A and B are shown apart, each in its own frame.
Chain A
Amino acid sequence: MRKVAVLGVGMTKFSGKQTKTAVELLAEAAMDAINESNLKPKDIQALFVGNGLGDFSEGQMQPQAFVADYIGAFNIPANRYENACASSSAAFRDAFMWVASGFYDIVLVGGAETAAKMGTPLATRTFAMGSDSRYESPCGLTFPGVFGLLTHLYSKKYGIPLEKLKQQMAQVSINSHYYGARNAKAHFRKEITMDDAMNSAMVSQPLQLYDCCPFSDGGSAVILASEEKAKKLTNKPVYVVGVGQASAGNLMSQKDYLPRIRSRELASKQAYDMAKLGPKDIDVIELHDCFSIATIIALESVGIFEYGKSGEAVMKGETKIGGKIAVNPSGGLKAKGHPIGATGTAQVYEIVKQLRGECGERQVEGAKVGMTDTLGGDGGTICNAILQRGW
Chain B
Amino acid sequence: MTTYNKPLPQPNADDEFFWRGCKKHKFLFQKCLDCGLIRWPPSFLCPQCWSGNTTIIEASGKGKVYTYAVYHLAYHEGFKSDLPYVTAIIELEEGPHFLSNITECNPGDVKCDMPVEIVWDDITAEFSLPKFKPVRVTT
Q: Which of A81-107 contact B (CB under 8 A)?
A: none
Q: Which of B45-59 contact A (CB under 8 A)?
A: 47
Cβ contacts under 8 Å, A139 to chain B: 87, 99-101
On chain A, the residues within 8 Å of B73 by CB distance are 144, 201-204
Query: What per-residue 1/0 map shows which CB atoms of A239-261 lie under 8 Å from chain B?
Result: 00000000001111101000000
Residues of chain B within 8 A of A145, CB atoms compared: 69, 71, 87
Q: Which residue of B lies closest to A153 (CB)?
A: B67
Complexed CA–CA distance, A98 and B110 (Å): 51
- Contact in complex: A138, B41 (CB < 8 Å): no
Given A140-B87, A149-B67, also A252-B41 (CB < 8 A): yes
User: Is A134's CB under 8 angstroms from B99's CB?
Assistant: no
Report yes or no: B69 in contact with A134, Cβ–Cβ below 8 A.
Answer: no
Please determine whether A149 and B12 come into contact, CB atoms closer than 8 angstroms. no
Q: Is the CB of B41 within 8 A of A140?
A: no
Say yes or no for B72: interface residue by CB 8 A criterion.
Answer: yes
Name the distance in Å between A144's Cβ and chain B's nearest Cβ. Answer: 8
Is the CB–CB distance between B6 and A140 below 8 Å? yes
> B5-18 CB contact bits vs A (8 Å, 1 = yes)?
01111101001000
Task: Report the bound CA distance from A249 to B85 in whole Å.
Answer: 25
Cα separation A124 to B75 with both chains bound (whole Å) = 6
Is A229 on the interface with B (CB-CB < 8 A)?
A: no
B98 at the interface (CB under 8 A from A): yes
Q: Is A18 an interface residue (CB 8 A)?
A: no
Closest-CB distance, A192 to chain B (whole angstroms): 19
A204 near B89: Cβ-Cβ < 8 Å = no
Min CB distance B106 to A, Å, is 13
Q: Does A152 lie at the interface of the complex (its beta carbon under 8 Å from any beta carbon of B)?
A: yes
Contact of A156 among B77, B100, B112 (CB under 8 A): B112
A251 partner residues in chain B, CB cutoff 8 A = 89, 97, 99
B129 contacts partner chain A, Cβ-Cβ < 8 Å: yes
Interface centre among B6, B12, B66, B77 (most CB of A within 10 A): B66
Is A312 among interface residues, defined by CB-CB distance under 8 A?
no
Asked whether, in the complex, the Cβ of B75 is within 8 Å of the Cβ of A148, the reply is: no
Does A206 have its Cβ within 8 Å of any Cβ on chain B?
yes
Q: Which of B41, B67, B85, B107 counts the most A-chain CB atoms under 10 A from its CB?
A: B67
CA distance A206 to B111 in the complex (A): 12
How long is the Cα–Cα vector from A125 to B78 in the complex, in angstroms?
12
B75 / chain A contacts, CB cutoff of 8 Å:
120-121, 124-125, 128, 140, 142
Query: How long is the Cα–Cα vector from A207 to B67 in the complex, in angstroms?
Result: 14
Q: Mark A121-156, 1 if CB is under 8 A from B, else 0.
A: 100110010001011111111101111111111011
Complex alpha-carbon distance, A205 and B68, angstroms? 9
In contact, B40 and A252 (Cβ under 8 angstroms): yes
> Complex Cα distance A250/B40, Å?
10
User: At the interface, yes or no: B119 with Cβ under 8 Å from chain A?
Assistant: no
Residues of chain B contacted by A201 (CB below 8 angstroms): 72-73
Query: Quick one: given A124-B75, A255-B97, are A135 and B68 in contact (CB under 8 Å)?
Result: no
B59 CB → nearest A CB, Å: 14
Contacts of A124 in B (CB 8 A): 75
Q: Are B6 and A138 interface neighbours, CB within 8 A?
A: yes
Q: Is B79 an interface residue (CB 8 A)?
A: yes
Instruction: Kindly state whether residue B28 has any CB partner on chain A within 8 Å.
Output: no
Is the Cβ of B69 less than 8 Å from the Cβ of A140?
no
Q: A139-B99, A140-B76, A140-B79 are in contact. Are A149 and B112 (CB under 8 A)?
A: no
Contact B89 A134 (CB under 8 A): no
Does B36 count as interface, using CB distance less than 8 angstroms?
no
**Chain B residues near A206 (CB, 8 Å)?**
69
Q: Does B113 contact A (CB under 8 A)?
A: yes
Min CB distance A138 to B, Å, is: 5
Does B21 make an interface contact (CB < 8 A)? Answer: no
For B67, give its contact among A120, A140, A150, A250 (CB under 8 Å).
Answer: A150
| Contact partners of B91 in chain A: CB under 8 A | 255
Residues of A within 8 A of B7 (CB): 137-138
Contact A140 B68 (CB under 8 A): no
B61-98 interface with A by 8 A CB criterion: 66-79, 82, 84-85, 87-89, 91, 96-98
Picked from A134, A141, A148, A253, the residue with its CB within 8 Å of the CB of B10 is A134
In whole Å, how far is A137's beta carbon from the nearest beta carbon of chain B? 4
B88: chain A residues within 8 A (beta carbon): 149
| Top 6 A-B pairs, shortest CB-CB distance | A148-B69, A137-B7, A205-B70, A153-B67, A124-B75, A202-B72
A: residues with CB less than 8 A from B are 120-121, 124-125, 128, 132, 134-142, 144-153, 155-156, 201-207, 249-253, 255
Other contacts beyond A139-B87, A252-B89: 12, CB < 8 A: A121-B75, A134-B12, A140-B6, A141-B69, A142-B75, A149-B88, A153-B66, A203-B72, A251-B89, A251-B99, A253-B41, A255-B97
